[in-house]
Every structure is written in C-alpha cells, then in structure tokens.
Amino acid sequence: KAGVTQTPRYLIKTRGQQVTLSCSPISGHRSVSWYQQTPGQGLQFLFEYFSETQRNKGNFPGRFSGRQFSNSRSEMNVSTLELGDSALYLCASSLMGQMNTGELFFGEGSRLTVL
C-alpha cells in the first residue's frame, strides 16, 4: 500500500514568488491535513480538509491556502513568499474516524527554501 506522497520534495523560491505543493493521501483516506515544521516553532497546523471541505484552519495568514479535490488529493499554496516561510511542509492523511487515535500518516514533506 503506497504511503502519502508529496511533491516536490525540495524547492527554492525567491521572496515575493508563490508556490504550490501537492499531496496524494493513502488510498481510501479522505482526510488530509497540512503542517509546517521549523526548528524554532516545531510542527504547526495549517489546515485540514475532508471531502473537499476545509474543516479546520490554524493561525496562519491568508497567504497560505489549500484545497482538496474529489479524489482526496490536496494542494497548498503560499503566495508572496517571505523568508520566514522557509520550512518543511508536511502533509498527513487519515481515515475519517481514526482521527481519535491520532493516527496521522505523514509524507516525507516538501522542503521549501525562500531566498
């Protein structure tokens, strides 16, 4: 069974640009969440999607957005990039109902560097 797939794995952008990251969840998983991981702040929740609807959103500015498609694949977009957006962006999927167990399955992440 394939795991969570994130693309691209690494990318370098300059300030002011925008970036789109993609996540393919485990087959059958309908919930997808995104986290930002930095050395200083650790893992911070960005947003969560279920059945193409955003169910939860973290405390990030409106430059961070996401969406989920009917096949459960998800994308997140960051516009007007800032240096502080440099981070590892992690996508996680779970079966509905398994959230109670905390059983999130994470991808290997997309490492974004903003110059």
Partner 1 sequence: QKEVEQDPGPLSVPEGAIVSLNCTYSNSAFQYFMWYRQYSRKGPELLMYTYSSGNKEDGRFTAQVDKSSKYISLFIRDSQPSDSATYLCAMNRGSTLGRLYFGRGTQLTVWP
Structure letter (DSSP) for residue 26: P
Q: Which residue among 74, 78, 107, 112 contacts partner 1 (CB under 8 A)? A: 107
Structure letter (DSSP) for residue 9: S
Cα distance between residue 27 and residue 25, in whole Å: 6
Prior bond of 39 cis (ω within 30°): no
Cα distance between residue 22 and residue 4, in whole Å: 10
Count interface residues toward partner 1 (CB under 8 A): 29
The reply to whether 74 sits near partner 1 by the rule CB under 8 A is: no
The reply to whether 12 sits near partner 1 by the rule CB under 8 A is: no
Answer for the pair 20, 107: CB distance below 8 angstroms, yes or no: no
The reply to whether 52 sits near partner 1 by the rule CB under 8 A is: no
Least Å distance, CB 83 to partner 1, is: 21
The reply to whether 23 sits near partner 1 by the rule CB under 8 A is: no
Residue 32: count other Cβ atoms within 10 Å of its Cβ. Answer: 28
Tell me which residues in 76-95 interact with partner 1 (CB under 8 A).
90, 92
State the residues that interact with partner 1 by CB under 8 A.
4, 31, 33, 35, 41-45, 48, 50, 55-56, 58, 90, 92, 96-97, 99-109
